Structure formats: structure tokens, C-alpha cells
Structure 1
Amino acid sequence: MPHAPVTIFIIEDNALYSELLAYKLTQNPDYTVRQFSSAQACFQHLATEKPDMVTLDYSLPDGTGEQVLRQLQERLPNVPIIVISAQEDVNTAVGLLKQGAYDYFAKDAETPDRLWHSVLKVREQLALRRENQRLREQVGQKFDPKQAIIGNSQPIKELFTLIEKAARTGITVSVSGETGTGKELVAKAIHYRSVRQQQPFVAVNVTAIPRELLESELFGHEKGAFTGAVNRRIGRFEQAHGGTLFLDEIADLDLNLQAKLLRVLQERELTRVGGSKTISFDARLIVATHRNLEQEVKEGRFRQDLYYRLLGLPIVLPPLRERGTDVLLLADAFLRAFCAQNHLPPRQLSEAAKQQLLHHSFPGNVRELKAVVELAAVLAEDELIGPADLSLRNGSGGNGEIPADESLRQQIARIVQRYLDVHNGNILHVAQLLKIGKSTIYRMIQNNEVSVR
């Protein structure tokens, strides 16, 4: 990892000793060193330049080591400060380290070398922090809604407006829409456009975790809280502290856990399973469901008080069949990405194939479209994808309609079966192409939904 230049401030009233430290550090041409004979001289310079780290003499003419350290920490939060003292008092060193000093050295012949090695450690940490910042910025750009969410239809334009409004505040957001419409993508777009974008985005699918483990997953547990709890576990709420917690399929949360979630949201604090300590948290909440939560409340499956607590800013995602020609924009994007990832020649949809996609109802929405066009890219004999390559009905082409009584699960099984047939039953390869776990395919085989022929 390439290192950026490092600026180091030396605060030392002994001019000779200050020159000694500066001479040692400037052996590295990447280090810029500034020397100050007092704390006030350093504070005045902070108006024009900020350091990446500071060395601080414990005994200065205008303040004790503890006082100056505290003032520096207020002005330069997160900047490492190394205290250098003529004293070798252990209690002083311990006190300064507890106060937040990065390191403590006694002045002797080896101090310049110790400082050199300590600066190397700081530099490594600084490089990692800058790289992390760069990656977070890249993720933020990726989830710019107008780049991550593809479409020009009126419903999508209205969605962009709501995402921007949600991102400007910390209001709870409830996202609803049919399966496969991109609810998590919307949640990420909101998070990475908000002031919390540098903090964690933590996603939990309520239906993917066994009910008996979900409370521990959300709130954490203490060691020995239950059989198998051999260590303390930090829950998802704590993991999301400072950032955003996304709870997908919130309607499937059982009533007992709904009550606990309500209390946690009202108090903004939680208690780990098996623990007694109250832990405060600060996480923005975004929830999603493909069900009608209002109807769930009427039928007694969802608490009314929790419903109103979660409602916040409601965002309803349009199904793909209501997005007009967006289906072609999405299909083209999926085709280009799939062909590039799998080293296939570029593929294009024929006019007949485009018409077939435009007239298909897509009950599986964007997720179904992605699977259909990726399979078509594999099946096509040349660069032009025709209607026969689109697996929209019984594994073949056709008029684009699906049987009225066919479920999404049956459609997924049909697509998986087609991939297995084309790739001679190679389960691992099919799992990689479809981006699903091979255990999912094995489970489908066990349930007689697909077979290896």
C-alpha cells in the first residue's frame, strides 16, 4: 500500500533536543517536520496546517503535559500524540496513556530510535485509515441512487426524490414492495447518501435466522447466556452504532420479539441476552417487507404500536411490470455485466426478444429479469439473443406469459434446472453463475424441485 506524506509537529522547548528529533525524522523524505518551542506557538499554527501526529514535551513553559495533551486532543481529535519526558515516573506514564496519549518515552539516547519506530506504526495506521476512507467513498459513489438504481420511468424518478429526502434526515424509513424489487438496494442508497455514510451499514434478513437465535443476533448475548454461548456476542444493533441498521422482512418478526424491539427503539438502549447492563446505541433504522404491514396489523400478526414506530417515511417500490421500458435498460446492464464477468462475447437482445420482455409480467421483478437474461447469455448461440433463449415459460421461449398458478419458487426451480441441464449437472459452476449457494441447489435436489440428469 503506497504511503502518503506525513506531517509531524514537535513541541519541545529545548532547541537542541528538538533539532535532534527533527534530524532523525527527516531522514525519511516523506516526513514533513514542524518544530515549536511552546504549546501556544503550536496552537497558533493549527489555523494554517494540521499534523498527522504530534510529539509533546512533558514539561513546557506554558502548561503541564496533562494540560497541553488535553488541549491538543480537543483541537486534534484522533491525531496520535506521543509524550516525551525527562522524568521516568511510571505513574505519570500510566496516567498520560489513560488520558489518551498514543505513547510515552523517557528522554535518553535511544529516544530518537524509539520515536522512529513509533512513527512507522502510526504511518501504517494512517495509510489503512486513508485506504478505508477511499473505499468508503467508492462504495458511496456506487450507491448513488442514479447510478445504482437503473431506470428512467416516472415511478423511478419519484423514487429518487424520496431517497434524497430520506437521506437528508435520520427519519426511520419503511420500504415495501414485491419480492425482487430492490429493497436492500434502496436502503443502501439512503445510507450512502446520508451523513452516516462513513459508518457501518448492517443488514439483517429476519427470515434467514432461526427464531430462537434472532434475539441474540439483534441484541447480542453474554457468555453463558444459553447452551452454546461460549463467548460474548455483539448484536447487530451495536454493530450498526453510528450507522444504519436494515431489517429486511420485518413483518415476519414474531410478536414476542416485536415487543422487545419496540422497547429498544423507544428507549434507544438494549440489554444483551443473559446480561443486566444497559447499552445505549445510535443507529438509523430502515425496515422492509413485501407484505402489507397495515393488513398484518388488522389481522393481529403485527403490533400496532410498533407499526407506527416503524412507519416513518414510507417508500413503496414499483413492480417491474409498471416501469415500462426500464426493463430493457436493466436487461442491457445485466447482459453487459454478466458477459464481462464470465469472459463471454458481448450479447444483444433481438427486437423480438425485447418485445417478449416488455410483455412479460415478471412476478419475480428485477431479480427474475436478471436470472432470465444471464441464462439467455449462456444459451445464445451467437451475439444476438432471440425469443427462444429467454426462459420465460416452461424453460423455453414462447409468448412471455407464465402459468397463472406457478409460484416464484417454481420459476426459480425451473431456471436452476435449465442451468443444470446446460452445464451437465455441474452444481458448483451453476451456483457460481446464478450467484447462489451450492447448498441451496442441493436442498432443491433433496426436495425434488430439480434433478441432475
Structure 2
Amino acid sequence: MCVLKIFLVEDDLFFGETLKYHLQLNPDFEVHLFQTGKDCLINLYEKPDIICLDFGLPDITGDKLLKKIQETNDKIPIIIISGQEDIEVAVDFLKSGAKDYIVKSNHTKDLLWNSILKIRENLKLVQEVEELKEKLEQKFSFEKTIIGQSDSIKSVFNKINKAINTNINVSITGETGTGKEVVAKAIHYNSDRKNKPFIAVNMAAIPKDLIESVFFGHEKGAFTGASERSIGKFEQADGGTIFLDEIAELDLNLQSKLLRVLQEREVIRLGGTTRIKFNARLIIATHKDLSQEVKKGNFREDLFYRIIGLPIELPPLRERGNDTLLLAKYFIDLFTKENKIKSITLSKESKQKLMKYPFYGNIRELKSVIDLACVMCEENEILLDDLTFTSINSNDMFLSEEKKLKEYTAEIILHYLKKNNNDVIQTAKKLDIGKSTIYNLIQSKIV
């Protein structure tokens, strides 16, 4: 909550302007002054965060206006400002739902300021709780978060369910962009650890000389620059889940230290001597084949067996059939909602194009393509030309459509003809083919 919209209802214009000026000294307060209860009511559509209400208005009494506001929206905090010092009146207002009752005096502006600050803190807490509930609800329903109906993704759902009901270590493998962290969060937020921390560590993003401090923490003065104690990721994850992404990138020397920590279930901070117990579930992820890394000598065999637990292999998007279109629609709906624009559809041709493309960047690449298409499309429909694929591997685009060998051959010859200014002899030499092959293709109008 950045700006707080405040309605100030006061028939004494001088007093009202004084309060408004004082409140607007806070740049986070947006104050609207009304002199009648009617003006306040007809402007409730602007959804004020707080209403400061004078008890003695010329057109309606404070208690009646309070009820009318509550009939429209009973969640708006209301502060009563009154010239009456009658305790019974104040108590009646507070029983009726007013958040505060302030008697007009030389201190009114300061009392009002403090009351609004307290209400703002409560509103922040309510908002944070609502946002947390929304996030948790999304995470709990993992079959809505992980989009798909293919047999391969249903197999993943089955393994997620098995992981949820136990505390076994989980190892998630799959190509880059297949959603490994999404699966890790789905397991955590559906398990009995859901109310405890989910701590994610990307091994590839941490400098080698800092990993030990990040993992296990350090004491003040443990090394140059350690000006205060730091709690490591394993301690932070106590009771919850620690997710080690790209585990194959971990240095061999640190692999042995990680193995000891996992065996003993305790850490010693750098520069310290105290053994600190922790209870955290381990989930690891990698796009590499860990068993092959063991054979190559890049990964410890004993650590491999310690962390492998329940293996979940995520299928690449190109092997998930119609899931591509389901995900595309999900990303379109997400984009339109976030950008507050009208709904967007996919044309038949654009659907076919999406289904043929191999998506070596998987779900992450698909989201990027869809976001750009939503920006580029006209008439709220994504057409063929709105889909732009920026493939790292040039062969991806060339092979993204299924064609006959003759058609691929013609494309290659046409490419080199243009490159050689339609010089047939030069092109034939470059491709090591006979001139007649090129002439035959030209005569058949394929090239």
C-alpha cells in the first residue's frame, strides 16, 4: 500500500482545510475534503482507504452517515471527529464499528495523524495476509500451477503426490526451462512443511568462495568483511525445505562438506564451534545427468546416493503434445490480466505453428514467445506473423517444420544461390553437387 486515500468530511471549511493541509504533509496521504455527508456518499466509488467523519454535519448526523457508509462497504475504517466530549456517545460510535473517536481540540490534528498511522499499519497487515493466502492457495493447487494434461505430465503429478506424503529427498531433472523450481515449490507447499520456509539456492549463481558461507553461515569476524553474524541457508530452512538448484555445479571439495552436513543434520558456522542442528527436507535439481557426472568424476558417488531420493524427470515441452497450447492459453490469460487488457485468442494457423516448433527453451521460451505475441498482435488475436522465435540454435528454426528431403534440399540450394548472386557453377562447387541438380530444381520451379 503506497498512497493512502483519505476522505475528510467536515462542514467547517477552515477547520477542514487545516486538517487536510496537516495530513498532506505526509506524501503518502491523498486527502479529499467534503463539506456534506451527501458528497461523501456519492464519491464512495473512489474507494477511500479511511474516512474521517465529523459528528455534526448540516445534512445528516454522524451516526446515520456511519451506517450508510457501512451499508456500502463495511470494511472502510472510520474515524469520528466530534465537538462532544460525552463518553456515552463515543462508546456508542465505537460499538457501531468506528475505529476511533477524537474530540475537537488544539491537538486534533496530531491525534488524527497518529490514529491514521495506526490504521495504516493494520491495513498493511491485512493486505499482507490476503496476499499470502492468495499465494498459498495458488501453490497448494499444484495441478493448476503446473499446467498440462499429457500422459508425461500426469506421471509427474503422480510422483509429486508421492513426494508430498513423505519426507524423502527429491531429485528433479530436466532440460532448462521445464519448471524444476515450480515442481519443488509444489511439493513443499502441499506437504506438512508448508508453513515453514522454502529456501532456494542457485548453485550456478553463487561465487565458489562464497558458497560455504551461504550454505552454513558465518560468525562475526570469521573473515575479512564479516562485520556481523550471518545465518546460513540450511539454518534458515529449519523445519521447511531447502532447494538446491543446479547441484551439479557444486565444487568437489564442497560436495564432501555438504555430504557431512546431510549425514549429521547439523552445521557449524564459519569461524564458529557450535554445532547447530537443523531439520530441513532436501530437494535438488539439475539439467545434467548426475549419474554421468559421477562416471566422469565430476560428482561424488556417495553424495549422489545420499541426495537422489525420489527422482522426478520433467519432460521437455516438445514431448508434451497439446500441453503446449494449454500453456500458451495460460500465459495469454496471465499477460492480459497483469496488463489489464482485453482477452486475446490464438488463430488456427498460430496454434499449428506453436505445435510444430520444438521449444528447446521449453516453458520459459514459450512464455517469452507468447508475451511478445500479445504485444504485437492486432484485433486481440495472435496471428502467424505475431509469433517470433528467437532460437539460440539456428538449426531449431530450420527443422521446426516437417518437410520432405527434396524441400529441405531446395531451401539449401536457394540459400546458396542467393549468396552467390545466382551463380549456378559457383553454387554447385560450394555444395559439391552437379550443375544439373540445380538446373533440374529450377526447371521444376522448386527453386
User: TM-score, normalised to structure 2's length?
Assistant: 0.60
Structure 1 segments (4+ residues) deviating >3 Å: 27-30, 124-138
**In 1, distance between residues paired with 2:334 and 2:340?**
10
Distance 2:258 2:399 in 1: 38
2:177 to 180, 184, 203: 180
In 2: Cα distance, 1:338 partner to 1:404 partner:
29
Alpha-carbon RMSD across the aligned residues, in angstroms, is: 3.2
Q: Deviations over 1:351-410 (max 9, x none)?
A: 000000001100000000000010011111221111111112579xx9x952579xxxxx
* Residue 276 of structure 1 pairs with residue 273 of structure 2: yes
Encode CA deviations 1:77-108: one digit per residue, 9 max, x unaligned: xxxxxxxxxxxxxxxxxxxxxxxxxxxxxxxx
Query: In the alignment, what sits opposite 1:208?
Result: 205
* Distance (whole Å) between structure 2 residues aligned to residue 204 and residue 393 of structure 1: 29
Deviation at 1:132, TM superposition (A): 7.1
Closer, same or farther in 2 for the Cα pair 1:297/1:132, shift >3 Å? Answer: same
Alignment equivalent of 1:263, drawn from 244, 253, 260: 260
Distance 1:299 1:404 in 2: 32
Query: In 1, Cα distance between the equivalents of 2:123 and 2:236?
Result: 24
The Cα shift of 1:264 comes to: 0.2
CA drift at 1:28: 8.4
- Take 2:388 and 2:369, find their aligned partners in 1: how far apart are those partners? 6
2:152 equivalent among 143, 149, 155: 155
**1:119 maps to which residue?**
none
The aligned counterpart of 1:346 is 343
1:385 has 2:382 as partner: yes
Q: Which residue does 1:17 correspond to in 2?
A: none
2:288 is aligned, of 286, 291, 307, to 291
* Whole-angstrom distance in 1 between the partners of 2:232 and 2:160: 27
Match of 2:190 among 189, 193, 206: 193
Aligned letter for 2:155? E
Q: Structure 2: which amino acid aligns with 1:343?
A: K
Gaps of 5+ in 2: 1-48, 51-74, 76-92, 97-119, 401-447
Provide the rounded CA distance (Å) in 1 between the counterparts of 2:123 and 2:190: 25
Q: Which amino acid aligns with 2:326?
A: L
Inter-CA distance 361–206: structure 2 relative to 1 (3 Å threshold): same
Please, which of 378, 385, 397 is the counterpart of residue 402 of structure 1? 397
CA distance in 1, matches of 2:366, 2:373: 10
For residue 128 of structure 1, report the CA deviation from its aligned partner.
9.6
Q: Which residue of 1 aligns with 2:137?
A: 141
> Map of 1:19-38 to 2, 5 A cutoff?
none
Amino acid across the alignment from 1:402: M
Q: How far apart, in 1, do the equivalents of 2:125 and 2:253 lie?
A: 41
Number of aligned pairs? 291
Q: 1:168 aligns with which of 165, 170, 175?
A: 165
Alignment partner, residue 234 of structure 2: 237
Write the distance in 2 (CA, Å) between the matches of 1:382 and 1:125.
44
**Deviation of residue 280 (structure 1)?**
0.4
Contact 1:264 1:270 in 2 (8 A): yes
For 1:210 and 1:348, how far apart are their aligned partners in 2?
44
Q: 1:255 to 1:337 in 2, by over 3 A?
A: same
Q: Counterpart amino acid of 2:336? A: C
1:248 to partner: Cα distance = 0.3
Q: Describe the superposition over 1:144-181 as per-residue Cα deviations: whole angstroms up to 9, x where unpaired.
A: 21111011111111111111110111110000000000
The one-letter code of the counterpart of 2:343 is P
User: Which has the higher Rg, Structure 1 or Structure 2?
Assistant: 2
Distance of 2:337 and 2:278 partners within structure 1: 42
Q: Secondary structure at the match of 2:230?
A: coil
Q: 1:219 to 1:394 in 2, by over 3 A?
A: closer
- Equivalence for 2:360: 363
Separation (CA, whole Å) in 2 of partners of 1:272 and 1:241: 15
1:194 aligned partner, one-letter code: S
Letter in 2 for 1:335: I
Q: CA deviation at 1:139?
A: 2.9
| Change in CA separation of 1:325 and 1:311 when aligned onto 2, cut-off 3 Å | same
From 216, 219, 231, give the equivalent of 1:219: 216
Q: Which sections of structure 1, spanning at least 5 residues, go unmatched?
A: 5-26, 31-123, 406-453
Q: Tell me, in whole angstroms, the C-alpha distance in 1 between the residues paired with 2:155 and 2:399.
A: 31
Asked whether the 8 Å contact 1:140–1:193 carries over to 2, the reply is no
TM-score by length of 1: 0.59
State the alpha-carbon separation in 2 of the partners of residues 292 and 164 from structure 1. 24
Distance 1:138 1:347, change over 3 A: closer
SS at match of 1:225: coil
Q: Which amino acid aligns with 2:397?
A: I
| Residue-by-residue CA offset, 1:31-79 (whole Å, 9 max, x unaligned) | xxxxxxxxxxxxxxxxxxxxxxxxxxxxxxxxxxxxxxxxxxxxxxxxx
Partner of 1:97: none
Aligned counterparts of 2:398 and 2:231: Cα–Cα separation in 1? 46
CA distance in 2: counterparts of 1:271 and 1:177, whole angstroms: 33
TM-superposed deviation, 1:138: 3.4
Structure 1's 215 and 342: CA in aligned 2 closer, same or farther, altered over 3 A? same
Relative distance call for 1:271 and 1:132 in structure 2 (3 A) is: farther
| Conservation of the 8 A alpha-carbon contact between 1:166 and 1:173 | yes
**SS of residue in 2 equivalent to 1:402:** helix
- Give yes or no for contact 1:327–1:357 (8 Å, CA) kept in 2: yes
Tell me the residue number matched to 1:450.
none
Paired residues of 1:223 and 1:229 also in contact (CA < 8 A) = yes
Q: Which amino acid aligns with 1:370?
A: K
